Amino acid sequence: MNRYIQNNRMNYRWLLTILYGLYVIWTGLLRTIQAGEFKPNAFWFCLVTGLIAIVAGFLYRADKNWAATIVASLAVTVVLLFYLNCFITQPDKDATYRVGLVIIASIAQLCVITLPKRVAPPPN
């Protein structure tokens, strides 16, 4: 039996965590595209935190759940707090769809991290 499918359900955390990391990297590139010039702070912040999330996804895939949960929680918390800070303190400059979608994606990723891995079997 495939070790990634348990109780007839696919282990989805690794895939969603990798997609979240790719999305965070894309937001850094999108900031550069929207500005029309290279924004090194946005690029490097999103690249580093996105790569940390991708590493967490591969840790989930390797069944190292505790390490993956810690690494993913760290990356998501940093991204969420940074973008919430930008959204609240500079609403005229950073209240964009890009920032709002990153906040929503980070909250969704926190839900993915904290939801239980296994579903209890139905009682007989």
- Token pair of 32 as six digits: 């550069």
User: What pTM, to 2 d.p., does this model score?
Assistant: 0.84
pLDDT (tens digit per residue) in 38-72: 888 888 999 999 999 999 999 999 989 999 999 99
- How far is CA 80 from each of CA 9, 85, 103, rounded to the nearest angstrom? 29, 8, 6
Q: CA 43, 46, 48: angle at the middle one, nearest 5?
A: 105
Strands (E) located in 1-124: 5-6, 9-10
pLDDT (tens digit per residue) in 95-120: 788 888 999 999 999 999 998 766 66
Name 83's Cβ contacts closer than 8 Å, sequence gap at least 6: 94, 99, 102, 103, 106
Query: Which pLDDT score, from 0 to 100, does residue 116 have?
Result: 76
- Token pair of 72 as six digits: 């993913």
Among residues of the chain, what percentage have pLDDT more than 70?
86
**Coarse DSSP helix, strand, coil percentages of the chain, rounded to the nearest 5 percent:** 75, 5, 25
